[in-house]
Structures are given as structure tokens and as C-alpha cells.
């Protein structure tokens, strides 16, 4: 395969998003759209990635370098069209000898297979390859004027005749070029058109006039959704989720109600994992084999060990690391904690900044008090310990192996291994006092009613 350069156009204003955030930073599957485009370029084997950003879009550059540290960033100070945007990245392709793939940062779901098809056609002799698709409504897109396998021209919607507007096959924006072909046409693109912009799509007619071979390939419409507003963003997200669900089911994950489970771009799940309805995965989740996740869990930045059972209604986040066979039940939140194999927290707990050993039982209502309003402190609990229900563990504090904390304790001092800790007031029983208490209450009520009658 020839060397591959990828140019990603990300200088869009995105005014139709009605957002303070640049369009290409809006996430799909938890990752900014521009980063999806960069990942697509990387998975296609691009050795050099050039991203064209708008002025002042440092955050876009940062999102790019987070996934491709050595990507070259070019700034397009005036937004004069896609052809003009490509020119800004000239140094990335004019000395190149192989192929150039142009991707639009607002088209995040393009598959590695589609990019591979472009590359294969270029390697087989095409000079330009355009990815077309057939949307339900072609309004606004550039139309592909074809003759058999050959692409003759792309006519932008605003410049098209009524006859051309009846064409259903349109330009996705994704194109491949032999780098020499791109270099030979880029400076000849003009701006005498309806928008007064330098259209990259004019490269097609220029190359045909030079007797170059210009071809096209047709992609699935869902793969090349271009996100220009929030409706399209929602469509792209749904499409992304559909693809991930399908991948996971293929890989041996049971989804009891697939459409209600939402994944992140990097969710990793082992085999024979069962996920019940209404579960959301944020970025950074790795799940081992044989895990069961019951309904209404929200999980991000977490590792879940083999055989664990989670939920319903659990929240796990912030670098949580759960060992094998851990059980977390309803209304348990775990943040930035390591929990050893076989440990159970069945109900209503907050475990934050904690390290917990193996086979420990965390009783209902146990809270690690990790925050004093300024600092976060650690709680360390050993193995085979038992924390009685409704206990508060005031960090920094530790509970040793095999220790037992009595229910309702507020633990402020370390508990040694095998100790029994009481951190609560002792109970006192007053014999026969209950009826007296009731008499008092009734008398108080009678007084109140008498006062009301007077007024």
C-alpha cells in the first residue's frame, strides 16, 4: 500500500448547532466528532494526519492531539470553502508520493472498510475516488453526475439545475486522491459559484479535463451522516449505538433490550456478559467475562472483574476497580475505589477513595466520609471484614482484616485487625416508660385542641 495522508476538515462554524462549543467537538459515543474522524484515519493506516481548524479553536486542536499526538494542525483563518480548507494543509500533501484521504470532521461514523475501499481503488489506478450515498432527502448535498463507473462532476445543490436536483446519489464529502492529482488541481479551483466559495468538489471536473480516472463508491447512508444540527447529532448517536450493540452481540454479549443500552466509543466487554435494560456506559469501561449488569446502572471509568454482579441502580465511576465476583447491589455508588474479589456491598452505600480487601461485607447504608469540604481522604478496609449497616467511616481511617464494625457506628479511629469497633451511643432501656410517653403526647394534643376551640 502506498503512503497515506489524511486531511480532516474541521473549520466549520456549525452555526446551526446553536452552541458555544465548536460543532466538531460535540460528542458521539462520548468522543468528540473530530476525534472519530482522526481515529478513522488512523485505522485506515494514515501515516500522516493533517487537521484544518478554524481560528481560535484550540480546543479542537487539543481533541485531535489527544488521539493522535503527532497530527499536524493547520488554521484556516477565513472560511472560504472546502477547497480553500484543503489548501491550508498543502505542506502535508504536496511532497507526498502516495494517497490522500479527505475526511470531514462532521461526518464521524465513516467505517474503516469504506476508507479501505477508497484506498484499494486508488491503488488499482483511480486518481480520485468519491464516497457517495443515497439519503432519504438529497436536498442540500452535492449531486454526483456519473457515467457508469466514472464520476464526471459533483454539482453543489445551490448550483444544480432542476434536472440535476432529481439525482438521488450525493457526495458524502469523503474523497481519496492520488497526491499528485490533488496537487495538480488544487490551485485551479475557482470560486465562481452560488456561494462564492472554493469548492473541493470542483476537483472532479478539473481532473476529468486532465483525463484522470475519477471513480466513486457508494456507502450506507447511516455511515456518512453529516452532522449540521442537533437532529443530525441525535441521528448520528443512534446510528453509533446501533453499531456498537450489534458488535457486542456478535462478540457474545447478551443485551436483554438492546435499544436501551448505551455504550461509549471505548467500552470493552468480555464474553457471556448479560446487560439488562437501561444501562449507560460512559468512557473508560472494561468489563471481564461472566459479569451481570442489571437495570439502571450508570458506569464510567471503571474496570469490572470476572463474575461480578452489579445493580440494579448502581453508579460506578472515577477509576473504580472491582475484582472478580464483587457484588454491588441497588443504590450503591463507587468512586475511585479498589474493591477486592468476592466483596459485597448490597444496598445503599457510597464508597469513595477507598481500598477494600477480599470477601468483605459492606452493610446497607455504609458511607465513606471522604471529603471534609477541602480535602479528599482515603479509607482502607481489609479482607474478611464486616462493616455493620449504617456506619460512617470518616477518612482518613482504616479497618483491619477480619475486623467488625457495629451497626450505626461513626468510625473516626483506625480499627485493628480482628477488633470489634463500636462508634455509637450505648442503648438504655427504661422499663414501662412507653405508656407514660404516650399519655404525655395525648395530653399535649388535648391542650392544642382546646386552644384552637377558643380562637
**CB closer to Mg ion out of 103 and 288:** 103
**CB closer to ligand UD1 out of 53 and 381:** 53
CA neighbor of 33 nearest in space, from 86, 115, 105: 105
Which helix (DSSP H) or strand (DSSP E) does residue 440 occupy? helix 433-454
Taking the CA atoms of residue 38, residue 122, residue 214 and residue 144 in that order, the dihedral angle to the nearest 10 degrees is: -40
- 102 part of the interface to ligand UD1, by CB under 6 A: no
Kindly identify the residues of this chain, within the stretch 200-229, that bind ligand UD1 according to CB under 6 A: 200-201, 226
- 138 part of the interface to Mg ion, by CB under 5 A: no
347 is catalytic: yes
Q: Which stretches within 44-136 are classed as H helix?
A: 58-67, 82-88, 90-93, 112-123
133, 199, 240, 296: which one binds ligand UD1 (CB under 6 A): 199
- 284 part of the interface to Mg ion, by CB under 5 A: no
- 226 part of the interface to Mg ion, by CB under 5 A: yes
Contacts of 231 (CB under 8 A, 6+ apart): none
- Whether residue 65 contacts residue 35, with contact meaning beta carbons closer than 8 Å, is answered with no
C-alpha cell at 302: 471503571
**CB closer to ligand UD1 out of 52 and 119:** 52
- 182 part of the interface to ligand UD1, by CB under 6 A: no
49, 64, 71, 105: which one binds ligand UD1 (CB under 6 A): 105
- 170 part of the interface to ligand UD1, by CB under 6 A: yes
Torsion sign (Cα): 258, 264, 269, 274: negative
- 14 part of the interface to Mg ion, by CB under 5 A: no
Around 268, how many Cα atoms within 13 Å sit in the side-chain half-sphere? Answer: 11
- 106 part of the interface to ligand UD1, by CB under 6 A: yes
Kindly identify the residues of this chain, within the stretch 330-349, that bind Mg ion according to CB under 5 A: none
C-alpha cell at 71: 497530527
d(CA 129, CA 115): 10
- 384 part of the interface to ligand UD1, by CB under 6 A: no
- Whether residue 201 contacts residue 142, with contact meaning beta carbons closer than 8 Å, is answered with yes
74, 93, 104, 240: which one binds ligand UD1 (CB under 6 A): 104
CA neighbor of 15 nearest in space, from 54, 50, 66: 54
**CB closer to ligand UD1 out of 174 and 320:** 174
Quick one: how far is CA 153 from the chain centroid? Answer: 37
C-alpha cell at 77: 483563518
> Of 6-14, 264-272, 284-292, 346-354, which part binds ligand UD1 (CB under 6 A)?
6-14
4, 7, 10, 269: which one binds ligand UD1 (CB under 6 A): 10
Q: Which stretches of the chain bind ligand UD1, using CB under 6 A?
A: 9-12, 52, 76, 79-82, 84-85, 104-106, 141-142, 154, 156, 170-173, 199-201, 226
Catalytic residue positions, numbered = 347
Q: Which stretches of the chain bind Mg ion, using CB under 5 A?
A: 226
Amino acid at each position: 500500500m502506498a503512503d497515506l495522508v489524511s486531511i480532516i476538515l474541521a473549520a466549520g462554524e456549525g452555526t446551526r448547532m446553536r452552541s458555544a462549543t465548536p460543532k466538531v467537538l460535540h460528542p458521539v459515543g462520548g468522543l468528540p466528532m473530530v476525534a472519530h474522524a482522526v481515529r478513522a484515519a488512523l485505522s485506515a493506516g494514515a501515516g500522516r494526519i493533517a487537521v484544518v481548524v478554524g481560528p481560535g479553536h484550540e480546543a479542537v486542536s487539543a481533541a485531535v492531539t489527544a488521539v493522535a499526538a503527532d497530527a499536524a494542525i493547520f488554521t484556516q483563518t477565513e472560511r472560504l470553502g472546502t477547497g480553500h480548507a484543503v489548501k491550508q494543509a498543502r505542506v502535508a500533501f504536496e511532497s507526498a508520493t502516495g494517497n490522500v484521504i479527505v475526511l470531514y470532521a462532521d461526518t464521524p461514523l465513516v467505517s474503516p472498510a469504506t476508507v479501505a475501499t477508497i484506498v484499494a481503488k486508488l491503488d488499482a489506478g483511480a486518481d480520485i475516488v468519491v464516497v457517495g450515498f443515497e439519503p432519504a432527502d438529497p436536498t442540500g448535498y452535492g449531486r454526483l453526475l456519473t457515467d457508469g463507473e466514472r464520476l464526471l462532476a459533483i454539482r453543489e445543490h445551490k448550483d444544480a439545475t432542476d434536472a440535476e436536483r432529481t439525482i438521488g446519489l450525493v457526495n458524502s464529502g469523503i474523497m481519496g486522491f492520488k497526491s499528485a492529482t490533488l496537487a495538480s488541481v488544487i490551485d485551479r479551483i475557482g470560486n465562481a459559484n452560488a456561494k462564492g466559495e472554493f469548492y473541493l468538489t470542483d476537483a472532479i471536473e478539473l481532473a476529468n479535463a486532465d483525463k484522470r480516472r475519477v471513480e466513486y463508491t457508494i456507502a450506507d447512508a447511516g455511515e456518512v451522516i453529516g452532522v449540521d444540527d442537533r437532529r443530525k447529532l441525535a441521528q448520528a448517536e443512534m446510528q453509533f449505538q446501533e453499531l456498537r450493540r450489534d458488535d457486542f452481540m456478535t462478540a457474545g454479549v447478551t443485551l436483554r433490550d438492546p435499544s436501551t443500552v448505551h455504550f461509549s466509543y471505548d467500552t470493552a466487554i468480555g464474553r457471556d456478559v448479560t446487560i439488562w435494560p437501561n444501562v449507560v456506559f460512559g468512557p473508560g469501561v472494561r468489563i471481564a467475562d461472566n459479569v451481570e449488569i442489571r437495570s439502571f446502572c450508570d458506569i464510567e471509568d471503571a474496570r469490572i472483574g470476572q463474575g461480578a454482579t452489579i445493580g440494579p441502580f448502581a453508579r460506578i465511576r472515577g477509576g473504580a476497580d472491582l475484582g472478580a465476583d464483587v457484588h454491588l447491589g441497588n443504590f450503591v455508588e463507587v468512586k475511585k475505589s479498589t474493591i477486592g474479589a468476592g466483596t459485597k456491598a448490597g444496598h445503599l452505600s457510597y464508597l469513595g477513595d477507598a481500598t477494600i480487601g477480599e470477601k468483605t461485607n459492606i452493610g446497607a447504608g455504609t458511607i465513606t466520609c471522604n471529603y471534609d469540604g477541602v480535602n479528599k481522604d482515603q479509607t482502607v478496609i481489609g479482607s474478611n471484614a464486616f462493616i455493620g449497616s449504617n456506619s460512617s467511616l470518616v477518612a482518613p481511617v482504616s479497618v483491619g482484616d477480619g475486623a467488625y464494625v457495629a451497626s450505626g457506628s461513626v468510625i473516626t479511629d483506625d480499627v485493628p485487625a480482628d477488633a470489634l469497633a463500636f462508634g455509637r451511643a450505648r442503648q438504655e432501656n427504661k422499663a414501662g416508660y412507653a405508656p407514660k410517653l404516650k399519655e404525655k403526647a395525648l395530653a399535649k394534643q388535648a391542650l392544642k385542641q382546646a386552644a384552637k376551640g377558643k380562637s
